[in-house]
Structure formats: C-alpha cells, structure tokens
Structure 1
Amino acid sequence: MTNSNQDAVSRGFFQTLTSFGRAFWCSNVIELLERWAYYGVRGGIAVYMVAAATVGGLEFSHLQKANIFFWWAAFQSLLPTVIGGHADHYGHKRTVAFAISISVIGYISMALVNGYWPFFIACMLVATGTAVFKPGIQGILANSTTKENATLGWSFFYMIVNIGGFTGPLIAGYLRLMSWKYVFITSACIHSLNFITLFFFDEPDRGHVAFEHNDRSLAEKISRVFREFWQVLFSSLKNLFDPPLMMFLAVFSGFWLMFMQLFDLLPNFITDWVDTSRAVAFFGNLFGNQGWIEYAQAGKQIPAEWLINLDAFAIIFLMLPIGWVFGRMRPVAAMILGIFIASAGLVVAGYTMNVWLCCLGIFVFAIGEMIASPRKSEYLSMLAPPGKKGLYMGYVNFPQGIGWMLGSSLAGPIYQYYGDKTTLARQYLVENLNMAKETVAQLPLDQVLPTLSKALNHQSVQETTRFLFSTYHPERIWFVFAAVGILSMLGMLAYDMMFEKKRQQQADANSAAPAA
C-alpha cells in the first residue's frame, strides 16, 4: 500500500470526501455536463453511421465508420499529449472555455449535415474540442487534490464521468426515435451550460507564474505566442520519450484498443445479433405493462446504447466502494487486475445472442474498468513534476489514442467482413442460394434480411438472424480483442518488474530520509 493510500484509509471515507474545495466540485459539475453531451452523441453514433437511410441513418459502411473513428481517436486522444503543456501555461480555465466552444460548434454541425466528408469534419470538431477539454479539466482536478485525497478524488471524478455517460445515452435513446437532430442539438445545449459553471470558482494554484498581461505590441504578442507554442510542444514531446513513461503508455494502449470496442463495435453487434426483445418482454411481464409485451411480441428491439449504458450504471453505484477497496492496491497492480477482468467481460458480452449474458458481460467489463481506468490518471498525476500536471494529464490520453486508432483499423474490416449481419446475408444469398452478385449488391440495405428470410422460408427475420449466427459465428471476433487485452496485462506485469517497483522503492527511501 502506498503512503497516500495509507493516509486516506486512516482519515476515513467521509473525512476525505469533505476535504475537497470548490474548484474540485465545480470541475466535477463541468465534467458531468461535458460527458452528458459527449456520450449522448457517442452512445449511438456507431449505429447511426451505418443505419439505413429509411430509419434516419447515414448508410456508411463499417470501413467508413472505422476511418472516422480512427481520425477521431487521433484528434481527441493524441492532441492532449501536446496541449497539456499549453493548458499549464495559459491556464486550465481558459483551456476549458476554448474547448467548450469548439465542441458546441461540432455538435451543431452534426445536426446539419449528412454527407460523409461534412460529417467527418463535424466529428473532428467534437474530437478536437474534447482533446482541448481533457488536460484543462484534469489539470484543475489534479491541482485541487492532495496526496491524501487523490485516490478518492479520482474515483469520484470517474463516477461523475459515468453519471454523465449514463444520462446522455439514456435521453438520446428516446430523442433519436424522433430525430437524430434532436440528439446533436441537445448535446450542444447541455455542454453550453458549462460556460456558466466556470464563473463559480477560481483556478487552483498551478505551481508556476501565471500568464502575463503587458503593454507589448500586437506583433510582439503574436510572436511570443508562437515561440512559446513551439517551446511547450518540444518540451511535451521530450518528456514523452522518457523510457518508463513510454513503456507504460505503450502497454496501456492495448487495454484501450480492447476498451473502445465497447462503444465503437458492441452497439453494432447488439443491433445485429442480440435479441433484446426478451428483456422488454421480461420487464413487461414483471411490471404488467401490456404495451411492452406487445412491443416484444412484434420482435422490436431496444436501442443498443441502453444495454451499453449498464457499464455506466454499474460505475455510478459501485465506483466509490470499488475505488475505496482497490485503493489499497498499488496503482499498477490494480491496473493489471482490471485489464484481466475487462477482457473476460468483453468475451462474455459478445459470445451469444442472449441478452442476459450480454448484460452480464457488460457488467463484468465495468468491474474491470472501475479497477483499472481511474488508476492510470492517479498514477500519472503521481509521476508528474510540480507545474506539469496538465502536461502529464495530457499523456493520460496518449495510450487511449494509440489503442483507439489501432482498434478502429482492426475492428472496421473484421466486423465488415466477419460480423456485419447484412454483409453475411448478402454473402449467403450469393454463395449458397446462387443469386447474382450484382442483384444482391443492388438490394436496399433494409431489404437484404427480408429477402434472405423469404428465400429460406423462415417465419421471421429473427429466425434468419439466428440462422446466420449459427452459420457464420460472428461472436468469434471478440476473442481477437480479448487477446489484445491479455497481452496488455502481460506487458503491464513486465513494466511493474522493470520500472515501477524500483520507482516505489526510491520514493519510499526519499520519504524516509530526514529533511535537510
């Protein structure tokens, strides 16, 4: 157990909770609203991009969707690596305000466009706004916590993230039944409320001289801004190549490759393969709601993001106790355990068409996520030198970016050719029923399954779905992503033996040494 964790345990849960100041609580409100807006869009956008135009979708291929997510990852997760240093220099509140403006423009743009490239640009605006936002808000949080309350502070922050992450998709699931435009406009309005919250607190001390205002000419000020930009950029990249830091970020990228499939791929898998009508029927019978029962009997499904929302729901209610219990573990050890549990959960979630097993897998995944993910922020905050909290909080997003980019490149073709129900139905029509390839290719997206169902004399599209599942076994794709998670866990074990134990021994020796 680390010294900070020992202090937190000895102080008691509620005493630690009341030790936080106004900046901490306001930063959590800002994070709540930002995540509400973000996940309101992200929760269902994977389905929106590939859905048929007849149901309001964009009809992109999974390869096009993967390309958008690839660049989304690059903008959102790699930019904070260099932006973090600028957040330290210019101020975290200024950074957050600028980020809100960019994201709001992006959400509004999403509501107004439907072509591939215009939608791509709108997504990049949201990604850039989120990239600028992260080191700013995390820098405020890092500077408003101490070594005595950091573990609980980051656990609380992660719980708040998931309250927003739960609320957004829950409301968006209803809004998109009316129109997807309402989803995007609502997210823009919710995020705009953060401009007000910024006025309610002063920025915590950043450990360096604040940004100066003087009477220099405009040209001198512009020159200084560019000069300082490149200086901070060089410093950010230089710190990134520290061997222990580089290995930690590289190894944790594997976890993020696996993690992001919960949001980028599992919604598509649920929409294609999981029979969610069974859950609707169960709750209809449980509560005596005849409308739900009839909804299920008609074979209608619930939005996939509502099932994914079980992850956020579990974190809302379990994050603080799990953070408290596993706060007794070293951060690296907790991350190793969490990665293993999350890998197992992902396989369970995608292994069958059974909605209850899918929910169980998502819940198990959430347990692993709660153990592993918050500790990486705490760990990098511990490593950060004074005055570089924002820089190191920017590094938090580096492994997510690498893992997300690689995962998108991998998931796009894997699902397009081995998991997409429409693709597999077209394949069966051509290869097994000898239908002309050109004829099959011209079938509208929403007519492929009914055509195959009729050709096979099936009673329903649901029967055809079960037939395709047993024929092509799309569940096997999840073993690929779980294997990456296990490799990440093994890499973290190696990092622990090579660097972390030595660092901890040095830290303990320094704390035990008498003051000069």
Structure 2
Amino acid sequence: MRTWDLNLKVRLIGETLFNLLFWMYYPFLTIYFSDSFGQSVAGLLMSVPPLVGIIANLLGGYLSDTLGRRRTMLLGSLVQVVMFALFALSLSDWINYIAYILISFGRTIYYPASSAMVADLTPERDRREVFAVFLTAFNIGAVLGPMLGSIFFFHYRSELLWSCTAATFLYLCAIFFLIRETVPEAESGKRLSGSLLSVLKAQIRSYKVIFYDKVFALFILAGIVVMTVIRQENTYLPIYISAHVPEQALFSWKSWSPNLGGVGVFGWMMGLSGIIFVLFSVPVARMFEKINDRTLLILSICVVGASLFLMGCTTNVWMLLLLMATMSFGELMQSPVSDSFVSKYAPAEKRGQYMGAATLQNTIGNFFAPVTMILSGWVPSSSVFGFILICALIGALLYGLLFRTLYGKEENIK
C-alpha cells in the first residue's frame, strides 16, 4: 500500500470512515420501515430504491467516462450530504423514505466511477488484491457498525444521521482538494453536450452495445440471481431473526449470564461478518489467487445459499453465528473475483460503463430481494429459505453457462 497512488490512499481512508457510519443505520432500515408501514408495504417500498439505482448505475458509468471519474464522485457525494441532512431534520416517515432513496441514488452514481478509478491506477495483475483491500475497508465499519447501530439507530437516530452528514461532507472536501482525474487519455476529450434527451439517447446507444455482448449479459444475469440471495442478510434475515429467535444466554460464567435475542442477535451476526471481512478479505484473495474465476464464483454462491438455508433450521444463537461466518467466507470468495472479472473483460475506453453496467447486479438484485418479505406473509419461513437455496443453485448454473460460453468464444477467436 505504500506504493499506491495518492488517489487510492485518500479514498481508502474516506470510504472506511463513511462506511463505519453506514453500517450503523443500513442493516436496520428494513426493521424501521416495517414498523412504520407494515411488513408487506415495506417489502414493496424496499423494491423501489433498486429501480432508481438501475438508472443511477447506468448514469454513473456514463458520467464516469464522459464527465470524468472525479466529478462523478463529487456529484454522488454531494447528493448524499444533502439527503443525510434532510433525513436528520425530517419528522415524516415518508420524507425519511424519500431521503433514503436519494442517498442510495447518490451512492450508486459514485461507485462505478470509484471502481473505474481503481482499475485506472492498478496493473491488471494486482487488481484482485487491490479490490480485496477496498472490500476490507468497506467492511471495517461492519465490525462495530451493526452492534452499535442496534443502540444508536433506534435511540439516537438524529445524532447518527448528522454524523453521517458530517463524514460525507468531509470526504466530499477530500475528493475536491486531493483527488485528481484518472480517465484514460482516449476518453479525456469527451464532454457532456446537448440536451438531457440527447445525453440519455447517447447513453442508451452506448449500453446497447454492452448488453449485446452475450458473455457479459450472462454475467449480469447470474450476478442478479446471486445478489438476490446475498441481499437476504439485509432483507428477510433481520425480519426472521427478530421474529423467531428467542432471548437466550450467550454463555454462563459464575453468576454472570449475558442474554441476547431478536435485534441484538442480528447485530452480533452482522458484527461477526464484518470482523471476518476485515481480517480475511486480503488473505482469502491471496489464498485463492491461483484458482480460476469459474470455480470460485460457483463455489461461493453454493456456500452462501447453503448457509442461509441452514439458518432457517435453527434458532440457536451460536449456530446462527457459525452459519453467518460460513456465509461471510462465501461472500469473500465472490466479490473481488467479480470486480476483477469485469476489469479484465471490459475494453479500457469503456471501463466505466462496463463497471456501471456490472453494478446492475446489485441494484436489480436489491429489487428482487424483498420478494422474500412478501412471500413470508403467505408461506412458512422454511419455504422462504428453500426458495433462497433454489435461487443460489440457479446462480451457480448460470455461472457455469457463462464460462462455457466464454471459453467457446475464446476458442472461436483462436
């Protein structure tokens, strides 16, 4: 890391600070909106931000290659600052919900430019490990965030949101004063021009070429199914844990026996997941660096799906923590490989747009993830977890088809 460009160092510190606060509120939004609007309505409402995110993803990737990485990151950060302040000031659940949607919009615009900047500044041979370091930074907040958030979000929400506003504003200033533009020379002459309609038409034409790429389209489809499964840790899982896991003793030592249940158990599960991500992201990336992308992507989603399914078979806090640890290792195998695959596959002059299109996996996956909340109103929890396992197996099959198509394409070129 001592040899890294200043851009990478500044962003690593800034994103770590912000994500510490992010994980203090994000995991509990499902519970918050369920209490405010009811579980079925909340399931529908939580499907809206990903739809907005689809537009933001494509826009973020397009702006990254035309307006520039730095300016796009500034725009996304500014939107978040304003919306966090609105969330902190608001006394209306509906305004809070709108603020949350626009916070997600700002984050989604930001990340294609952020990922493209990492690829701009990093040699191909080092990208998987560098993406793993940024994944570690993203999850440092997940170590203490959910455990602290289980207290602060419900009792000191205004103070927490003002802290998010301040942290995002400081990071906005750091981007403005310390980060330089990294867009490739071939793209540096491009600038946004004409009406909004002409810009949107140009964006659609550009992405149309990407989605006609059969290999990349399969990658997006597989990723959507996979992210629908992974996002259950922030959609159906907290609902299940809070409703079905009774208060129980963590351990007994003499006369001391700390109890944990409901939201507290979920907070500890997310905290454990964060610890694993922080401690093992880079070691796992190094451990599997000689294993091909196909094997890692298929294995990772099978591990995640099986872990989630087994969570639906127990209410014991220690078994839940063990299964969360297993699921976290599955996610560790998946994320850096996915980012590295896109950076290797995408043409350099369209890297921002490919990164933006790739993040559709997250936004569309987030859109479909709340379907389990709606499904839980009609079928028992065991059936919901069975549905999650089936989705995981479909994701594994799609990854297998993706690489068979890719290898066939390479053979045809030869």
After TM superposition, give the deviation of residue 131 of structure 1 in Å: 1.2
After superposing the two structures, state which structure 1 stretch, 35-44 or 130-139, moved more.
Answer: 35-44
Instruction: State how far apart, in whole Å, the 2-side matches of 1:405 and 1:63 are.
Output: 14
Residue identity opposite 1:203 in structure 2: E
Deviations 1:443-477 (A, max 9, x none): xxxxxxxxxxxxxxxxxxxxxxxxxxxxxxx3442
Change (3 A) 1:202 1:382: same
Corresponding residue for residue 46 of structure 2: 69
Does the 8 A contact of 2:225 with 2:394 survive in 1?
Answer: yes
User: Which stretch of the first structure deviates more once superposed, 377-386 or 179-188?
Assistant: 179-188
1: CA distance, partners of 2:54 / 2:234: 15
- 1:481 aligned to 388, 397, 408, which one? 388
> Which of the numbers 211, 221, 238 marks the counterpart of 1:240?
211
Q: Quick one: structure 1 residues 182 and 475, their matched pair in 2 at CA, closer, same or farther if it must change by over 3 Å?
A: farther
Code of the aligned partner of 2:70: K
1:491 and 2:407 are equivalent in the alignment = no
Matched, 1:44 2:28: yes
Residue type at the aligned position of 2:80: S
Alignment of 1:110-259 (within 5 A): 110-113=87-90, 115-198=92-175, 199-210=177-188, 223=194, 227-259=198-230
Deviation of the 1:104 alpha carbon: 2.1
Number of the residue aligned with 1:400: 362
For residue 89 of structure 1, what is the amino acid of its counterpart? T
1:26 aligned onto 2:10: yes
Q: Deviations over 1:265-295 (max 9, x none)?
A: 111111111235322xx2xx45x795xx3x6
Distance 2:178 2:117 in 1: 13
- Measured after TM superposition, the shift of residue 262 of structure 1 is 0.6
Task: Give the alignment partner of residue 259 of structure 2, picking from 283, 288, 296.
Answer: 296
In the alignment, structure 1 residue 412 sits paired with structure 2 residue 318 = no
- Distance in structure 2 (CA, Å) of the matches to 1:416 and 1:107: 32
Structure 1 unaligned spans of 5+? 1-16, 52-57, 214-220, 420-473, 510-516
- The reply to whether residue 358 of structure 1 matches residue 320 of structure 2 is yes
Q: Structure 2 CA distance, aligned partners of 1:236 and 1:412?
A: 32
Letter of the structure 2 residue corresponding to residue 310 of structure 1: L
1:169–1:505 distance in 2 versus 1, CA, 3 Å: farther
Cα distance, 1:192 vs. partner? Answer: 1.9
Change (3 A) 1:78 1:372: farther
Maintained 8 Å contact 1:255/1:485: yes
Q: Distance in 1 between matches of 2:168 and 2:147?
A: 16
What amino acid is aligned across from residue 208 of structure 1 in structure 2?
A
Q: Matches of 1:99 and 1:289 in 2, distance apart?
A: 52
Change beyond 3 A, Cα 1:414–1:224: closer
Q: How does 1:314-353 map to 2 (within 5 A)?
A: 314-353=276-315
Question: What one-letter code is carried by the residue in structure 2 that aligns with 1:492?
Answer: Y
**TM-score w.r.t. length of structure 1:** 0.74
Q: Distance in 2 between matches of 1:180 and 1:356?
A: 29
3-state secondary structure, aligned to 1:244: helix
Q: TM-score, normalised by structure 2?
A: 0.91
Question: Displacement of 1:209 after TM fit?
Answer: 4.4
Within 2, Cα distance between the matches of 1:155 and 1:39?
A: 18
**Residue in 1 that maps onto 2:352:** 390
Q: CA deviation at 1:340?
A: 0.8
Whichever residue aligns with residue 28 of structure 2, its letter is G
Higher relative contact order (CA 8 A, sep 6+): 2
Larger Rg: 1
Q: Look up the match of 1:367.
A: 329
Looking at structure 2, the residues matched to 506 and 36 of structure 1 have their Cα atoms a distance apart, in angstroms, of 47
Consecutive aligned runs of 4 or more in structure 1 exceeding 6 Å deviation? none
Residues 75-128 of structure 1 show CA distances to partners (whole Å, capped at 9, x for unaligned) of: 235521342021111111111111111112222333344545323311211111
